[in-house]
Structure 1
Amino acid sequence: MDAADPSAVTDDARRRLARDFHLLGVRPGDTLMVHASIRSVGPIPGGARTLLSALRDAVGAHGTLMGFASWRDSPYEETLDGRQLSPERRDAWPVFDPANAAVYGGFGMFNELIRLEPDAWRSGHPDASMVAVGRRARWLTAHHAFDDAYGATSPLGRLVEAAGRVLLLGAPLDSVTVLHLAEAIARIPGKRRVSYQMPVLDAVGRKTWVRCSNHDSNGVLDCFATTGGIDAVEAIARAYVERRPHHTGRVGQASCHLFDARDLVAFGVSWLEDRFGIDGN
């Protein structure tokens, strides 16, 4: 191998990263939801694209990767719980097109790169959309109800159904999106629910506004919606890391966790119900 050849250097980095993923516990055929902090991995020849290629190599041709996309132009805050856009802003607001709408910037470059892959699929809920590539990508994203953003019928529910796993690639514990499923299905009273409006394309390609609603992902109970406090997702994830077996290791320079999605959600449901449920519900 010619060390001066950029493609050779990139290929070598890709192989090393794929090996790191396998040492962490990623397996060929895995259905994997990824939360990635590219900066934490450190310098990589070819950057984030090499990292994505290495992860695709690690799960192989029969594997699947999924990421949380949402939408860069989501009018969630502007229409939340009855807030109204002016007619002029409403008319000018871009429509959600799953094929072309950019990923919400707060979720990082990695998920945007998944969206841009030639074989990518994306779910149809603008604010809670998921992107996926690989064997199960179409199935994971095929249906995403406007009133069940993170519940049992959502892509998160199908991730658990598929015995999927969750990879935190240098990402913090408050980013474990699948725990919103635990919030949605846990039998606890007083769960907060929000509604908002989203512009989508109708059956003939015209812009129309639809009402969406879901359990509040910013604080499913009042006690988790306080400014400066940790939310239920982070609280559950911290408890899970302390109490349940899972894979840990490094990919590049990044500290990583690899979780079983079904076990993580079941733990989250029990954690919530034990603390906030009603006896006998």
Structure 2
Amino acid sequence: MTGEAGARTRAGLMRDLWGLGLRPGDVVMVHASLRAVGSVEGGPDAVVGALLDAIAPQGTLLAYVSWDRSPYEETLNSRTLTVQERDAWPAFDPATAGTYPGFGALNAFIVRHPDARRSDHPDASMAAIGPLAEGLVAGHAPGNAFGPGSPLDRFVAVGGRVLLLGAPLDAVTVLHYAEAVAAVPGKRRVTYAMPVLDADGRKVWVRAEDYDSNGILDQYAVPGQPDAVETVMRAYVAERPHRSGRVGDAPCRLFEAPDLVRFAVDRLERWHGTPGAGAG
């Protein structure tokens, strides 16, 4: 359904989402391109509203929002900030921190929703809205961005679904969980530092070590070449059934997260490790 000047309506987007296969009660992780969706009456807030309407009343919406001031690159491995830079850098506060624009402008509107809950991991921050929101995002500490015990682990455990709302295949963040649990030798690890608030509200810098989500193996860290997420997703869409359609003007895909992770772990271990040895 369209409104004035051809703009899509919240109700029309909800019906499109139902047509794609979303259902009340779903736990869905969204990756979105607002530009691909097209003009919507009410703007991005209406898109968030349509997503929540489609899974209401018991559904939960999840998004990977990160942080626009994350010092990940500035502190990666041996990189350091000057004392002056460290002092001036703001501490991550889930209640007020911005979102990383590279993961989609819709994230900023998800975070500011009055019912949104946000995880405490600065760089891998997740935001969720719905009955399962707190349980999904709680206890997300530096050093465990995407592995066992992370929000992605819990998302898969509750049978979550992944929605690409005009977003590309390399946006499927849940496959970083598959990278973390796959039994593959030589997985790349990185160190980084993040400024967070301690129990007294003071800024402290915390150094952590984690798997390298920018290239889990050397061959997936070549600039201009597909990373592991995109490589696995290309194989998945070629071999496995999934739902596809349009929401607004956006080409969309809907995936079952547990099946995605099982497929990804199997493929990564077949290609690079020990088949059947991983979790999932």
Q: Common fold, TM-score beyond 0.5?
A: yes
How well do the aligned residues superpose, as a CA RMSD in angstroms?
1.6
Shift of 1:213: 1.9
The alpha-carbon distance between structure 1 residues 280 and 249, as it changes in their structure 2 partners (threshold 3 A), is: closer
Shift of 1:214: 1.3
Residue 189 of structure 2 corresponds to residue 193 of structure 1:
yes
**Contact 1:149–1:213, Cα closer than 8 Å, also in 2:** no
**Contact 1:145–1:153, Cα closer than 8 Å, also in 2:** no
Map residues 70-85 of structure 1 onto 2, 5 A cutoff. Answer: 70-85=66-81
Q: Which residue of 2 aligns with 1:54?
A: 50
Q: Which residue of 1 aligns with 2:261?
A: 265
Map residues 1-281 of structure 1 onto 2, 5 A cutoff. Answer: 13-278=9-274
Distance 2:33 2:274 in 1: 38
Distance 1:41 1:57 in 2: 17
The alpha-carbon distance between structure 1 residues 244 and 40, as it changes in their structure 2 partners (threshold 3 A), is: same
Shift of 1:126: 0.3
The alpha-carbon distance between structure 1 residues 280 and 60, as it changes in their structure 2 partners (threshold 3 A), is: closer
**Could you say what secondary structure the match of 1:267 adopts?**
helix
**Contact 1:192–1:215, Cα closer than 8 Å, also in 2:** yes
The AA in structure 2 aligned to 1:22 is W
**Contact 2:269–2:275, Cα closer than 8 Å, also in 1:** no
Sequence identity of aligned pairs in percent? 56
Shift of 1:278: 3.9
Q: Over residues 119-150 of structure 1, what are the superposed CA-to-partner deviations in whole Å (9 max), with x where a residue is unaligned?
A: 11001110001001011111100111311101
The alpha-carbon distance between structure 1 residues 64 and 266, as it changes in their structure 2 partners (threshold 3 A), is: same
Where does the alignment leave 5 or more consecutive residues of structure 1 unmatched?
none
TM (norm. structure 2) is 0.95
Where does the alignment leave 5 or more consecutive residues of structure 2 unmatched?
none
**Could you say what secondary structure the match of 1:81 adopts?**
coil
Distance 1:262 1:204 in 2: 39
Distance 2:203 2:178 in 1: 33
Distance 1:279 1:81 in 2: 31
The alpha-carbon distance between structure 1 residues 275 and 206, as it changes in their structure 2 partners (threshold 3 A), is: same
TM (norm. structure 1) is 0.95
